[in-house]
Structure 1
Amino acid sequence: MNNKLYTQFVGSCSLVLFAFLGYVVKFYPVWIQPFDQVITNGVRSLYPTWNPFFLWITKFANPSTIVVLFLALLFVLIYGKRYAEAAWFSLGVIGIAGIFNPLIKLLFMRERPTLEHLVTEHSYSFPSGHSTASMVLYGTLIFFVALFIQNTYLKRGVQVLLGIWIVLIGMSRIYLGVHFPSDIVGGFSLGLGWLLLTYPYYQKQRFVWRFKNKQL
Structure 2
Amino acid sequence: MKTKVFTFFFTNKAVIIMNILGFYLFAKITEDVVEKEYILVIDRWIETHINAIQTPLLTKFMVTLTHFNGAIGIFVFSLLMMLFLVYKRWYNDLLFYFFAVLGANIAYIFIKMIVQRVRPSSDILSIATHSFPSGHATMATAMALALYFILAQRVSSLGLRSVIVMACIVWPIIIAFSRVYLDVHWLSDVLAGIGLGVFWVTLIELINRLKKIVG
- TMscore range, shorter length: 0.7 to 0.9
Task: Identify the residue that residue 34 of structure 1 maps to in structure 2.
Answer: 41
Corresponding letter in the other structure for 1:71: L
**2:55 match: secondary structure:** coil
Structure 1 residue 179: Cα displacement: 0.1
CA contact (8 A) 1:18 1:189 kept: yes
RMSD: 2.3
- Are residues 109 and 4 of structure 1, via their aligned partners in 2, closer, same or farther at CA, if it must alter by over 3 Å? same
Corresponding letter in the other structure for 1:87: L
Corresponding letter in the other structure for 1:138: A
Please identify, of 76-85 and 178-187, the stretch whose mean Cα deviation from structure 2 is larger.
76-85
CA contact (8 A) 2:69 2:136 kept: yes
Task: Identify the residue that residue 214 of structure 1 maps to in structure 2.
Answer: none
Task: Identify the residue that residue 100 of structure 1 maps to in structure 2.
Answer: 107
Please identify, of 10-19 and 130-139, the stretch whose mean Cα deviation from structure 2 is larger.
10-19
Task: Identify the residue that residue 6 of structure 2 maps to in structure 1.
Answer: none
- Give the structure-2-normalised TM-score: 0.85
Corresponding letter in the other structure for 1:134: A
CA contact (8 A) 1:74 1:86 kept: yes
**1:45 match: secondary structure:** helix
Corresponding letter in the other structure for 2:127: E
Structure 1 residue 92: Cα displacement: 1.4
Equivalences for 1:73-152 in 2 at 5 Å?
73-97=81-105, 99-116=106-123, 118-146=124-152, 149-152=155-158
Task: Identify the residue that residue 67 of structure 1 maps to in structure 2.
Answer: 75
Task: Identify the residue that residue 168 of structure 1 maps to in structure 2.
Answer: 174
Corresponding letter in the other structure for 2:197: G
Runs of 4+ in 1 over 6 A off after TM superposition: none
Structure 1 residue 142: Cα displacement: 2.0
Distance 1:102 1:60 in 2: 19
1:189 counterpart (195, 202, 207):
195
Structure 1: stretches of 5+ with no match in the other structure: 212-216
Distance 2:41 2:137 in 1: 21
1:49-74 CA-to-partner distances (Å, cap 9, x unmatched) read 41122112112210110011111111
Task: Identify the residue that residue 28 of structure 2 maps to in structure 1.
Answer: 20
- Are residues 114 and 199 of structure 1, via their aligned partners in 2, closer, same or farther at CA, if it must alter by over 3 Å? same
**1:198 match: secondary structure:** helix
- Are residues 65 and 206 of structure 1, via their aligned partners in 2, closer, same or farther at CA, if it must alter by over 3 Å? farther
Distance 1:137 1:122 in 2: 24
1:199 counterpart (185, 192, 205):
205
Structure 2: stretches of 5+ with no match in the other structure: 1-8
CA contact (8 A) 1:43 1:171 kept: no
Distance 2:150 2:96 in 1: 11
